[in-house]
Each structure stands twice: as C-alpha cells, then as structure tokens.
Amino acid sequence: MRVVVRQGYSAATMHQIAQEARASKETLYAWFGDRESLMAVLIRANADESVMVLADATSRPIRDAADACETLESYARSLLALLTGEVSITLNRAAMSSPALAAHLLASGWNRAGSAAVEYLTALYEAGHSPHADAAQAFSLFYGLVVQDTHIRVLLGEPAPSAQDIRQRAWCATRVFLGVEADSAGSEAG
C-alpha cells in the first residue's frame, strides 16, 4: 500500500508494487490475477482490524455494560483511525473516479464492517446493554457519532485527528450512544 499512497492509485503499477514487496511481477499476477484484485485484497486487509474488534466481541458472551462500552470504544477508535489514515484516504480519493475500486471499498469496508456491527449491536441489545432495538439503525447512529464529518474533512485536506482526539471522540460517542452518564466529560479518554 505504500506505493499506492506514495504514487496515487492511478499511477501505481504492478511493477512498483512488486519491487516494494520484493517479489516478481509474475508472482503478484499469479497470486492476485490483476492490479484490481490485488487492491481488493489490500482493501480487505486494511479494514480487518476494525472488523475484528467486533467479530471477536461477538464470538464471546458480553460480560456486562462495562464490557460493552469497552468494545464499542475500541471499535470506534479503530474505525476513526482507519477512515482517517493515509491508506484509506488515498483509496477513497481514487474510488471517486474508479467505480471498480469504489465497489471493492463498499464490499470489503462499509458492508463488511456494517454486517459485523449489526451482529454485535443485536447481541448487545439482546443482552440488555443497548437501548437500540434496530441494530442497522443503531450502527448508522453510532457511525455518525464517531465519524461525524471528520472523514470528509480529511478527504478534503484537513489533517487527520491525533490519537488523543480519536480516543476522546470514541469515548464520547460510545457514552452518548449507550446513554451512559459520565462523572466528568472526557475524564477517561486520556
């Protein structure tokens, strides 16, 4: 992905990617078929961390409200870091002029993350730790609370939020989403 970030999606060639990976072009073509298929795999890998937070949480019982809050906060941090990271910003900019890349981003990013989130939020509601019965609507709400307009602002050239800003946003968004009152706003975010 470093080549794509450095060169831009349109300018990055399989030759450059192979050199960066210390592999032959032939090997990349044998493994992935073409540049678009390689990009699809890289997009999926880029989204893995945020998706895995929820997949791991869904695979075990939700212990209590604190566990639910911790999981959502971790997911929120991962999601916002992903969406405002260099790789994601580069791919999203490129997707504006590449319908094929846009389709990969939707399938491996939004749709995959949304599916994992809906599954977790359903379990959260059923365990009595979420006030939101409609998990799909709840995901849209949570996503909006976490991301707000940050992704579009970074796409337009503003700097990505700092790690501290991401922690603060995740902390606040999670508590608003779950309806949790905090003793002092942001006291646990640092």
The reply to whether 188 falls in a domain is no
Q: What one-character-per-residue DSSP string does the chain give?
A: -HHHHHH-TTT--HHHHHHHHTS-HHHHHHHHSSHHHHHHHHHHHHHHHHHHHHHHHHTS----HHHHHHHHHHHHHHHHHHHHSHHHHHHHHHHTT-HHHHHHHIIIIIIHHHHHHHHHHHHHHHTT--S-S-HHHHHHHHHHHHHTTHHHHHHTTPPPPPHHHHHHHHHHHHHHHHT---SSTTTTT-
Residue-range definition of the domain harbouring residue 111: 35-178
Domain shared by 27 and 91, yes or no: no
Domain shared by 105 and 51, yes or no: yes
pTM of this structure: 0.84
Q: How many domains does the chain have?
A: 2
Domain shared by 55 and 110, yes or no: yes
Instruction: Give residue-wise pLDDT tens across range 129-181.
Output: 999 999 999 999 999 999 999 999 999 999 999 999 999 999 999 999 999 76
Instruction: Give residue-wise pLDDT tens across range 58-96.
Output: 999 999 999 999 999 999 999 999 999 998 998 899 888
The reply to whether 190 falls in a domain is no
